[in-house]
Every structure is written in C-alpha cells, then in structure tokens.
Structure 1
Amino acid sequence: MSFVRTQEKLKILADAAKYDVSCSSSGSKRNNANKGLGDATGMGICHSYTEDGRCVSLLKILLTNYCIFDCAYCVTRKSNDIKRAAFQVQEVVDLTINFYRRNYIEGLFLSSGIFKSADYTMERLVSIAKKLRLEENFNGYIHLKSIPGASDELMKEAGLYADRLSVNIEIPTKEGLAVLAPEKRREDFIKPMAKVKNEIIQYKSEMKIIKSTPKFAPAGQSTQMIIGASGESDQQIMWTSNYFYKKFNLKRVYYSGYIPISYDSRLPQIGTDVPMLRENRLYQTDWLMRFYGFEVEEILNNENQNLDLDVDPKLGWALRNLDQFPVNVNKADKRMLARVPGLGMKSVYKIIEARRFRMLNWEHIQRLGVALNRAKYFLECGTREYERRDLTAIQLKSLILQNSNSKYRTALGPQLNLFG
C-alpha cells in the first residue's frame, strides 16, 4: 500500500473519529520535533481501560466516513461536503500492527460510517478484528463499534474477537431520533445490544462449567448519546441512561455535547452548543446512580427536570432534602453517609472502619482525609455543634458557593491582581 495515501486516509479518518467520546481521548497535542521520540496529537490516539482497570492507548479511527444516512447531527452525513476516505481491511490490520510494534498503541478503537448496508459494514469491522487475532496473533485491546441493524450472527462473531462492543443510540429519545435521523429506527440500535447482552450472560454461565469457553466481549458493552441536539431535558436523558443500564447491563453511557457542524433547520443554531459543564453534571449524576445508590427520580423529577449547573447533583439533592440532615458520623449507615456532599465512597469506607474502634470527632474525620469544606454542613459529631446553624437551603448554597469562590481566589493569589 502507498504510505502517502495511507497517511492521508489516516489523517481524515482519525479526525472523523474524534466525535465519538465512548473511548476517552488523551487530549494531548504535543507534536514530535527535532527527531524526538514519539508523537501525541489531538486525534488518532486515545485512552481506554481494560477489564482489569489498566489504562491503554488505542488507535482511534473510522473504517470509512462514507455513509448512506443523512443524520442532521453527524459530520459524516451523506449531504455534508467533506473529504471522504475508506480503509481497506488489510490497511487497518497493518496500521494496528505497525503502530503496536513501535509502542505507539496497545490496541484499536474502530468505528465506521455505514456504507451499502449495516451487515456489509459490520462484516468488515469483524474481518479486521478476526485477522488481527488469528493471522497476526494480536492480543491487544480491541473496541469495535456495533453497527445498528447488524445481524445476530455478526454480533456474536464480533464478541469473540473484540474486548468491548458498543452501539451509539445517538439521540436520547425515540421522538428526537425521528426528527433528526428519520432514516434510522430505535429498534436497530436495540437489536445488537440485546444480542450482546444475551451472549455475555451465556458466556458467564458456560464459564462456570467449562473454563476453556471462548471469551465473549470481556469488557462488556457501552453506548453514547448526543446531548443538546434535540431538546431533551436532563430528566429524559438520565431516564434513558437508567433504562439502558438496567435493561442491557451496560458498562458505561457516554454523553457527548452537541457540536454544530453544519446548518440544519432541525438543529440548534451555532452559538447554542451544549456547555461542557452540562456534560460534567450528567456524568456526575450517572456516577451517583451507578455507585452511590441514587435513583433517577431522587435527583431529577417533574419539579427539577434539569440539573443545577451551579452545584453538583449530590449537593443539589442534599439542599432539597435538608430534613434528612445532619447525619451522625458515628451512627449513620453506609447508604446515608454516601449521600453527604463531600464524602466519596473511599471516605465512607474509612469512616465505617475507623468507628469500629472509637467514637469519631471532627479531628478524626480530618485525619481520615475527608474534605470538610462541604461535609461539615451535613455531618455531626459528638464533640462539636452542627455547622449548618439552621440556614435555609438558599443561604447554605450561597455560603458554600462563596467559600468555593474564595478558595479559588486564594489559590490563584497574586495572579488575580493582574486583572484588577
């Protein structure tokens, strides 16, 4: 294959892959200079995590940015005037192996536009993974994006060669998808998810009996949805996430803020793209649901359909439920301690372990590494009065924000004086 031609394809198809956040990018833009060692750019290489928690660098590319669909929000939509390219199956195999041998990467993240049909595209993605595993004896990490509408047979084969599979549901609601991508059906996203879920369950069941059972997608499956393109509230978004977590046992749901890429009357206009802070609040809510025991309706309901951008969702919940505080640090159970703003799960476990040996006071809590700048308003110990001093929710929020801003200004110090 021509090196110059392949390099041109790599530039186009690595850049097109950057919009898929279900494999977190390193974000580095440090270019090689003066014949140095290595090269880190804003595209092409990303970081992900294996089943055992290791962080690995992946080659992140599309097989092609040709697509038969014209989704309003997508940079590869068929009506978009962009430079197109497509890799051959063997080109992706060779790139992966050559990059791996040079220690640039430890694996591959491969997605694609849909050309000809779902099965035609998925078959080529599977062929790449299969060649890497069987012909090149490649044991690095492989993440394949499932193509909506792909057959069960191809999804089963994909799971035998990939570590993780994911299919992007793209838009949080069926109604939003119908407006922005009328050629697609929600059912086509659900079908491969259901197949992967059932195969993983079967694999785990067979493993209990036959230890040599071939692995099936050992890192599970994930999905991604675009936020802000179709007007859904945070409540609708998190209900959708909750459904997919519980229905399909997903490892992760990723939230990608809508980025205006071209004019379309169905989309928000340029200048109204989703703030990064909203993405952050959604991820925080997602974390509370998965690891802190919160239900969606506790954080988001008909009275509070969108997250407060001023404070994190746990603090927002606490301010709306002051009747449940203060929490006694020596008596509260794990569930309630985990709901105290400022207490992470590591701190919760430290408190539970430490109080087995003695009654804890504020000094003990600090020695455990608990950040009390927030927690002190929602906790009580036997050696000091409760810090909230009967403040209302509005007053308490204002005080916490004021203290946070004050700490920010103190950390910056003299630099702030440069700007008056």
Structure 2
Amino acid sequence: MNFERIKEKLNILADAAKYDVSCSSSGSKRTNKNKGLGDSSGMGICHSYTEDGRCVSLLKILLTNHCIFDCAYCVTRKSNDIKRAAFKVQEVVDLTINFYRRNYIEGLFLSSGIFKNADYTMERLIAVAKKLREEENFNGYIHLKSIPGASDELMREAGLYSDRLSVNIEIPSEKGLKLLAPEKHRSDFIKPMQKVTNEIIQYKNEKKLIKSTPLYAPAGQSTQMIVGASGETDAEIMYTSAYFYKKFNLKRVYYSGYIPISYDQRLPSIGTEVPILRENRLYQTDWLLRFYGFDIRELLNKDHPNLDSDIDPKLSWALRNLDQFPININTAEKRMLARIPGLGMKSVGKILQARRFRKLNWEHLKLIGIAMNRAKYFMVCDSRVFETKDRTAAQIKGLILQESNSKFRKTFNNQLNLFDATSKLSV
C-alpha cells in the first residue's frame, strides 16, 4: 500500500466532504454481535451527536471528488479547477477498520461525487458498506449518502448495510435547482427517497411478524438544503422541509449556509457568506415543527416570510399572538405550555408532573429551571410577583432584549475577571 498516496487522498477527500453537514448518527440501535468490531450504540475526523446527546466520531470522506455534473454551488463540479482523487473500495474499508482499531472513530460517513453515472457510483458505496459488514464483521455506524437517480434495487441493498441513508435535495426550490444545476431534476432526488421510505415501512412490518428480518436503515433517512445560494425566503425553505418531513418521514433536514467558492453570475458575490445566525434560526424553526406542535403556517407565511434575526422564532410567534396569552401554568394543556417562550419540552414535562401535587408559583418555576426573563411576560401561576399588564409586543421585546444583553455583559465580565485572576496566579 502506498501510504503517502493514501494520505494525500484522505486530505483531499476529507476536505471535500466538509461541505456536507447532514452527518448524524442518532437513532441507530445496531449492537455488536459474533465478537465483531464496533457498536453504533457505544460511547464515542468528524463529530456527530446522538439523540441522547452523546458525541460520536465518524470518518467523514468522499469516495471521489470527480463529478460528471457542473452544479454552480458545488466545489467538486466538473469545471472547477481543483485537485481530484478517488479511493478504491478496499482503501476505504482499510481506513475505516484501522481508524476504528486506534479508537479514532466509531463509524463511517461516506459520500461521493458522481462518476460515470448514478448506479455505478452507488454500487461502489454499497460495496464499501457490504465489505465492512460481511468481511470485517463491522457493527459500527455507517451513513451512506445516496446518489440521486440510483435505481430502486440499489437503494434497497444500501439500506441493508447502512444505519442511515440520505439524499441531499441541495436547493430548496425547483426553480433554484433549474438555475444552478440545470442537468439535475427534482425527480432524481424524490425517487430514491420514496424507495427508502417504502422499504423502511415494509421491513418494520415484516419485523413484527418475523424476528429474523434484517435491519433496514434503522436510523432512517435525512436530507440537506443549501441556504442562500438561490434566493429563497425562509418560508420557502421551511415549507419545503415541512413537506419532506410529512411525505417521507425524514429523521432530519439539515441547513447549510452557502459558502461562496468561485465566481458565477448566478450566485451571490464572493465574500457574502450566509450568516450562521440564519442557519440557527432555521434549525430552531425546524425544532418547533418536530417537537413543539407548531404548524409551519403559524411561524412563516406571506405576512412574515423571513425569520427575525434578533429573536428566536417561538418568541417572534408569541409577540405576534399576544391574544393567546397569558397562559395559566396550573391549568393549561401540554400543547399550550410548549408555546410559552422560555419553556423547553423538559420543563413542560416537569411542570405537568409537579402540578399534580400542588399549585405552582414563581419560586417553583425558578427551581424547575424556567427562563423567567422570557416566560414571565406570557404566563400566570399561583403568585403574581412578576405579572405584567398592558405592554405592547414592541415593549415586551425591548425588555427581553435589554435583559438578555445585560446578562450577556455580566457573564462576559465575569469570564474576563476570572481570566485576569488566573493569569495573575500563573505569574
């Protein structure tokens, strides 16, 4: 084995993979068996997080950065003058096993540019996963990035060897895709997604009847959208997400801010990167849809097409709907409690549990861990020390921002003082 060449490939193809953010290992329960290698449910080069918050290290690489397409937003597009490389199937298998034995990783995230055609590329991705499972007895986490346009037969086989599958839809709207990637069609992304969705349902049903039925993509499937490359509003992006969650039962949709990499008149100018705050607000909105019972039309619509940058989407919704507040902590149903700014779902659960034994007051809520600087403007309980009346949405927003800024300055000054004290001690 030419170790220098392998190292060079790894540098090139690991760097090319950094633009794919849809790298999560949550949801898989594959356990070690027959004294094999790895265990995707074990404790923990790329860091991902499971649903229970554990950090998992994954080898995240492309099989190749050669590509037959010329998508304007992609660093590996065929017209881009970059250094190209491609791994052999066995090289990826050896890297994964060697990195695992050294405790560098717990699994593999494998994507690829498209060379020759979709099926040829997908076959090679599957070959890596199959060798790891059957020849190396590897039971660690494997996430395969499905190739748009791959056949149903290959998508079915891919799910038998991987924990998660994903197909990046790349651009939120069809018009944006036509503008920036005219060689691609939205149907090429939809078809493999639909196949995986159907197979997951089928295998789950068969598993109920036949215990020996193999696992099929136990961590489900996900997708990723590039934000800011084609001018969609936040509403257009999140309506697309809501559709895919409902239609294909996705585990996650990831949002990747466009990073200008070269000049193209169809793209935003060089130096105008999408603010990380916009990504954060999209993820917060995504969370509200998945776990807090919000409908996308409540958060974004023709009157409110973009998310606020200075406040989170739940607070923004509450300020636009003050007629639904205040909410009584001691009597409100779970759905309404979850809509109070400052209350997470864990806090809602604690409130529901605690109020079975007594009426809750402000002191109880503080002990539970409620973010009172926000919540106090939207709720009442068994005491009224912090109750406010007759304030407008603008006044409440101003008070919350003022208190948040004050708390930030206090925390910053405390950290600065601690740094000074530590510096003096070290001298």
TM range (shorter): over 0.9
1:273 equivalent in alignment to 2:288: no
Cα deviation code 1:182-226 (max 9, x no counterpart):
000000000100000000000000011001101100000000000
Q: Name the CA distance, whole Å, in 2 between partners of 1:242 and 1:161.
A: 28
1:322 equivalent in alignment to 2:322: yes
In structure 2, what residue type is equivalent to 1:223?
A: T
What is the aligned partner in structure 1 of residue 134 from structure 2? 134
1:237 equivalent in alignment to 2:237: yes
In structure 2, what residue type is equivalent to 1:71?
A: C
**Gap change, CA 1:200 and 1:54, over 3 Å in 2:** farther
What is the aligned partner in structure 1 of residue 90 from structure 2? 90
Q: Name the CA distance, whole Å, in 1 between partners of 2:304 and 2:51.
A: 36
Tell me the secondary structure at the aligned position of residue 19 of structure 2. coil
Cα deviation code 1:120-170 (max 9, x no counterpart):
000000000001111111111000000000000000000000000000000
TM-score (norm 1): 0.93
Q: Name the CA distance, whole Å, in 2 between partners of 1:75 and 1:330.
A: 54
Cα deviation code 1:59-118 (max 9, x no counterpart):
000000000000000000000000000000110011011111111111100000000000
**Following superposition of structure 1 onto structure 2, how do residues 14-413 of structure 1 map, counting pairs within 5 Å?**
14-23=14-23, 45-49=45-49, 54-384=54-384, 387-413=387-413
Unaligned runs of 5+ in 1: 26-44
In structure 2, what residue type is equivalent to 1:269?
A: S
Tell me the secondary structure at the aligned position of residue 293 of structure 2. coil
Does the aligned pair in 2 maintain the 1:73–1:267 contact within 8 Å? Answer: yes
Query: Which deviates more from structure 2 when the two are superposed, residues 380-389 or residues 65-74?
Result: 380-389
CA shift at 1:24, angstroms? 5.9
Does the aligned pair in 2 maintain the 1:172–1:240 contact within 8 Å? Answer: yes
In structure 1, what residue type is equivalent to 2:75?
A: V
Q: Name the CA distance, whole Å, in 1 between partners of 2:54 and 2:159.
A: 20
Does the aligned pair in 2 maintain the 1:51–1:219 contact within 8 Å? Answer: no
Q: Name the CA distance, whole Å, in 2 between partners of 1:107 and 1:94.
A: 13
Does the aligned pair in 2 maintain the 1:409–1:416 contact within 8 Å? Answer: no
Tell me the secondary structure at the aligned position of residue 224 of structure 2. strand
CA shift at 1:386, angstroms? 5.7
Q: Name the CA distance, whole Å, in 1 between partners of 2:268 and 2:346.
A: 41
* Runs of 4+ displaced beyond 3 Å: 49-55, 414-417
In structure 1, what residue type is equivalent to 2:349?
A: Y
Cα deviation code 1:308-361 (max 9, x no counterpart):
000000000000000111111111110000000000001001111111111111
Tell me the secondary structure at the aligned position of residue 91 of structure 2. helix
TM-score (norm 2): 0.91
Superposed CA RMSD? 1.6
**Gap change, CA 1:2 and 1:304, over 3 Å in 2:** same
Q: Name the CA distance, whole Å, in 1 between partners of 2:144 and 2:162.
A: 6
Tell me the secondary structure at the aligned position of residue 208 of structure 1. helix
Cα deviation code 1:226-250 (max 9, x no counterpart):
0000000000000000000000010
Q: Name the CA distance, whole Å, in 1 between partners of 2:412 and 2:142.
A: 43
Unaligned runs of 5+ in 2: 26-44, 418-427
Q: Name the CA distance, whole Å, in 1 between partners of 2:238 and 2:82.
A: 33
Does the aligned pair in 2 maintain the 1:334–1:352 contact within 8 Å? Answer: yes
User: How many corresponding residue pairs?
Assistant: 399
Does the aligned pair in 2 maintain the 1:238–1:286 contact within 8 Å? Answer: yes
What is the aligned partner in structure 2 of residue 3 from structure 1? 3
CA shift at 1:381, angstroms? 1.4
Q: Name the CA distance, whole Å, in 2 between partners of 1:304 and 1:203.
A: 41
CA shift at 1:369, angstroms? 1.7
Q: Name the CA distance, whole Å, in 2 between partners of 1:415 and 1:103.
A: 34
Does the aligned pair in 2 maintain the 1:379–1:386 contact within 8 Å? Answer: no
Query: Which deviates more from structure 2 when the two are superposed, residues 113-122 or residues 371-380?
Result: 371-380
